[in-house]
Structure 1
Amino acid sequence: MTSDDTTGAAPAARPRFGANYTPSEGWFHHWLDFDLDAVRRDLDGVSALGLDHVRVFPVWPYFQPNRTLIRPRAVEQLVALADAAAERGLDVNVDGLQGHLSSFDFLPAWTQTWHRRNIFTDPDVVSGQVVYLRTLAAALADRPNFIGMTIGNEINQFAAGPHPDPDRITPEQADTWLRTVLAACEEGAPGRLHLHAEYDAAWYQDDQPFTPAQAATIGAVTAVHSWVFNGTAQRHGRDGVATGQHAAYMIELSKAWALEAHRPVWLQEVGAPAPLIPPDAAADFTEATVNAALDCADVWGVTWWCSHDVSRSLADFPELEYSLGLLTNDGRVKPAGEALARLAKEGRDRAAPAPRTTALVVDAGAGAGAGFGGRSVCAPGGAVFEAFASLVGDGVRPALVLAERAEEASHLAARGIREVVRPADVLG
């Protein structure tokens, strides 16, 4: 699969269920004191939930501390983790450029302060990224349980505000960078599922240079990261329709920009953040979110954030980060874990959802496809977002379609859409 291929991967025969692997001991700093036995215990817990894959996170500066030094021992440890996962029936997706994790930035010293360079456009930095990503992919290319590479964890947050020191780029530069680094992954592991993943600013923020069109057309599948602390739960409450439907909304929103009617979509991150979703509501939120997501067509899989709670012995995390695990630090299954285990067991045999015959029009402005545009209409409080929630509340299962394609008969027919409505028709 080349990075230029906009047709994506074939939809999964049935949805995958997995977890973003957060080590119970040492968090992602575990790479500094790698303990394969501890990893095995963690993966035993994930496997016991009936999940089939994990997404794992090499920390970029730990693996590539100098632009021309990729630590062989770190790469060996990554392969050992993948092999341990295989022994437990788990496939592995590897995120490359961490990048950003749970409010902390991890960038190599050779991109910062005295060596400050734009991580998306500086030729030396990009060439270092290419070699690094190709090396990780090649190290795993012969492992049957290797799904493929994700470029990095929400790396678009480095490209614009509210990041305090962004590496500013244009949408055209973002496009070039994405295709370059995805090609490196393909060179390292040909034919695997290589993709990129942004946080929701790509869909909601008007001046974000990573665009919906890039998310929905570049790479093997479209990834969405759904977090209701983005204003959704604050506005609609923990039990609000929009809160339980947020992941499904993002999946359907991604389809509006996809060129192919049935491009697979991976719900790659979703979790129950306290206190907006309190512990006694986490299981219900998990069930509502996953059921809503599986009511969307062409879902490749659901990967919950995250496997294990962050230890309270570690300082300075935002409060919500300590309690997102499906399991506690000592391996006890939490209510959300029990819910996801049940949903995974039931979901693999779930019938494919019926087409969504009513489509809500997304008019984000002409620039929103390839460049800057009015994407804020899609964000919580925006007309498209609120109209979608209103329709769902009325019992409708809405799709979303770009304004410029709302009268394109062949596109609508390929998606099973028979009726088109506009936000003003819904909201009055």
Structure 2
Amino acid sequence: MNARYGVNYLPRENWWYAWAEDDDTFADDLHQIAALGFDHVRVQCLWPLFQPSPSWVSPRALRRLVHLLDRAAENGLDVCVTVLDGWLSGFDFRPCWLKDADPFTDAEAVSAAELLVGEVARAVEGHPALWCVDVANEPNVLMRHLKAGGGEPWAARMLRAARAARVPVTVGVDHVPWMDDEAPIGRAFLADACDLIPVHAWPYFTGALARVGEERAWAVPDYLAQIARAASAGKPVWIQEVGVSPRWLTDVTVEDFAERMVRRAAAIPGLAAVTWWASHDISRRFTGFDELEYGLGLIDAEGRTKPIGARVAEVVAQLRERPAEPAAVAEIVLPAGRAPDLDFAEEWFARMGTIVGPAVRSAS
């Protein structure tokens, strides 16, 4: 089965504040995304707008979500709905009613989150554009106070609620679980509980750029996918976020770096999908975001396809015409008791080939 290629959708006109608007700009955006050759989008349900009260989910927001799926279907796009977006584009968007409650351990807060996930899942169940439900965007970023495995009971409840949609479910953690044995949501849990194994593969945020440099860090999606494959016993791996900023590069163009990342990912055995971050730049009329966040799109805030967007679209078209053959890979053993952190990653990058890097096997 060929891999999917898509984007994390950021609405051009009103970012995700668009859930509170009446415009129909979703249609234009999704048409442009489909015209570039992508087959799916991952969308974000901005938590405070969907659940203004812990006991009440906004019917209007749910209708807007279904409306977006309708427009996606008209453009031949499948949709992953990501529900609990308390952390998004570098902002903490948790609703104000949480106050001082821990969203992951407080009983009332967990029940409220479960309500939202279930209501969203039931609202989109059976929609022809629905591909999967992701319960949260990088929830482990807000779990740093929890010990190893401390976020797993929360994640298990959210995943059970998401199954009301009757589609594959996942929890969109960042790179940390794949590199740290003390993560609050661990690799073994993700492998067991998720239908799609999520990988967020940023060359900067993982530390790969600083450790191995521009000449090799474009292979970080491959590295993290190999760790995920080793943990997941054959389940499909989804590179759910991958992206690059020109602010991070000095010796390689952002277009060349992006092409290498996508081509490398396409050759990973068992890859389910690659989803670029992001579709569109954030408009400058919305202040307060980190400077980085304004330039990560394939399409600019005026709706023009950027050079990186044209390059990624060209690569995707070539991969659709001639899918990458899953590469035969060497093997590198992760010693017992050792985390696949940057020290291990440096060994992996030192041994990676030009096609695809070594498969990772844990020592028995």
Bin of the TM-score, shorter chain as denominator length: over 0.9
Structure 1 position 157 matched with structure 2 position 129 = no
Q: Which has the larger radius of gyration?
A: 1
Equivalent of 1:234 in 201, 206, 210:
210
8 A contact 2:12–2:301 mirrored in 1? yes
CA deviation string 1:130-177 (max 9, x = no partner): 2211111111112111012101110101110xxxxx4x3551x42222
Structure 1 position 85 matched with structure 2 position 58 = no
Shift of 1:297: 0.5
Structure 1 position 105 matched with structure 2 position 92 = yes
Q: Which residue of 1 aligns with 2:341?
A: 379
Shift of 1:39: 1.4
Equivalent of 2:112 in 106, 116, 128:
128
Task: Tell me: CA distance 1:169–1:33, structure 2 relative to 1, closer, same or farther (3 Å).
Answer: farther
Structure 1 position 400 matched with structure 2 position 353 = no
SS of the residue 2:135 aligns to: strand
Equivalent of 1:214 in 189, 192, 198:
189
Q: Which residue of 1 aligns with 2:228?
A: 254
How many Å separate the matches in 2 of 1:128 and 1:134? 10
8 A contact 1:197–1:215 mirrored in 2? no
Structure 1 position 16 matched with structure 2 position 4 = yes
Task: Tell me: CA distance 1:333–1:23, structure 2 relative to 1, closer, same or farther (3 Å).
Answer: same
How many Å separate the matches in 2 of 1:141 and 1:77? 15
The percentage of aligned residue pairs carrying the same residue is 34
Q: Which residue of 2 aligns with 1:411?
A: none
Shift of 1:364: 6.0
How many Å separate the matches in 1 of 2:181 and 2:262? 28
Count of equivalent residues:
362
TM-score calculated relative to the size of structure 1? 0.81
Shift of 1:216: 2.5
Task: Tell me: CA distance 1:24–1:86, structure 2 relative to 1, closer, same or farther (3 Å).
Answer: same
CA deviation string 1:366-418 (max 9, x = no partner): xxxxxxxx53xx233x1x201111111587741101122xxxxxxxxxxxxxx
The structure 1 segments of at least 4 consecutive aligned residues displaced by more than 6 Å after TM superposition are none
How many Å separate the matches in 2 of 1:250 and 1:294? 14
Query: What residue ranges of structure 1 are gaps of 5+ in the alignment?
Result: 1-12, 161-165, 366-373, 405-428
Cα-Cα RMSD = 1.9
8 A contact 2:9–2:279 mirrored in 1? yes
Shift of 1:35: 1.6
Q: Report the AA paired with residue 97 of structure 2.
A: W
How many Å separate the matches in 2 of 1:396 and 1:61? 41
Equivalent of 2:21 in 14, 30, 33:
33
Q: Which residue of 1 aligns with 2:154?
A: 177
Q: Which residue of 2 aligns with 1:8?
A: none
Equivalent of 2:292 in 302, 320, 342:
320
Q: Which residue of 2 aligns with 1:350?
A: 323
Q: Which residue of 1 aligns with 2:280?
A: 308
Query: What residue ranges of structure 2 are gaps of 5+ in the alignment?
Result: none
How many Å separate the matches in 2 of 1:151 and 1:87? 25
Q: Which residue of 1 aligns with 2:219?
A: 245
8 A contact 2:148–2:181 mirrored in 1? no
Greater Cα shift, 124-133 or 205-214: 205-214
Q: Which residue of 1 aligns with 2:246?
A: 274
Q: How does 1:178-217 map to 2 (within 5 A)?
A: 178-186=155-163, 188-190=164-166, 192-217=167-192
SS of the residue 1:58 aligns to: strand
Q: Which residue of 2 aligns with 1:4?
A: none
